[in-house]
Amino acid sequence: MKYKIIGFDPSLRNWGYCIATYDVYARTLEFTNGGVIHSKPDKGFKRKNLEDLQSATQLYSELNTLLKTHQPDYLVAELPVGSQSSRAMVSYATCISLCAVLAYGDGQKTIPLFSITPYSIKKEVSGTTEASKEEVINWVKENYPQAYEWVSKYPKSKQEHICDAIVAVHCAVSNQTMEDIIL
């Protein structure tokens, strides 16, 4: 039995994603595609909240298309856990809200959403709650070399977002709770 999973590394400006297939019986995880969705609001607005609304709308449009195209069985997101400034909080709130809308938006068919913390990703990569972006990229290169073949075609500034999404999916699948739900 195989399940399609879309992994997210949410961000207001650079939303990383990956497409994966998990074979429950073989216990294999394969990453087939991914990328970074950018929001680029017009700078002519008099109010910052209208720029943010335009960014959220741009992201939703691209993400909704991604879901319709790939029709995942599950979503996994590295959800933010806090923010250091009011601007970071805008990104935090937008990311949380978009993930909720993507998973539960139509009110009839929901897509299970598994939340992974940034600390879980860092711990998987380095064994501690600290890991650099380069360490995350190298972890993907070592553990999923087939995925890194297509990830490596992106600039480093985009690879880090895609690789965060890949490690998030890995963490979700490795978690016994998700295996129990899938089975």
SS3 sequence, the chain? CEEEEEEEECCCCEEEEEEEEEECCCCEEEEEEEEEEECCCCCCCCCHHHHHHHHHHHHHHHHHHHHHHHCCCEEEEECCCCCCCHHHHHHHHHHHHHHHHHHHCCCCCCCCEEEECHHHHHHHHHCCCCCCHHHHHHHHHHHCHHHHHHHCCCCHHHHHHHHHHHHHHHHHHHCHHHHHHHC
| pLDDT attached to residue 86 | 86
More confident residue, 175 or 6: 6
pLDDT digits (tens, 9 = 90+) for 152-173: 999 999 999 999 999 999 999 9
| pLDDT attached to residue 178 | 57
Mean pLDDT, the chain, as a whole number? Answer: 90
For the cut 80, the answer to whether the pLDDT of residue 28 exceeds it is yes
Average pLDDT value for residue range 108-116: 86
Percentage with pLDDT > 90 across the chain = 70
Tell me the pTM. 0.92
pLDDT digits (tens, 9 = 90+) for 73-100: 999 999 888 778 888 888 889 999 999 9
For the cut 70, the answer to whether the pLDDT of residue 176 exceeds it is no
Q: Binning pLDDT at 50, 70 and 90, where does residue 183 land?
A: very low
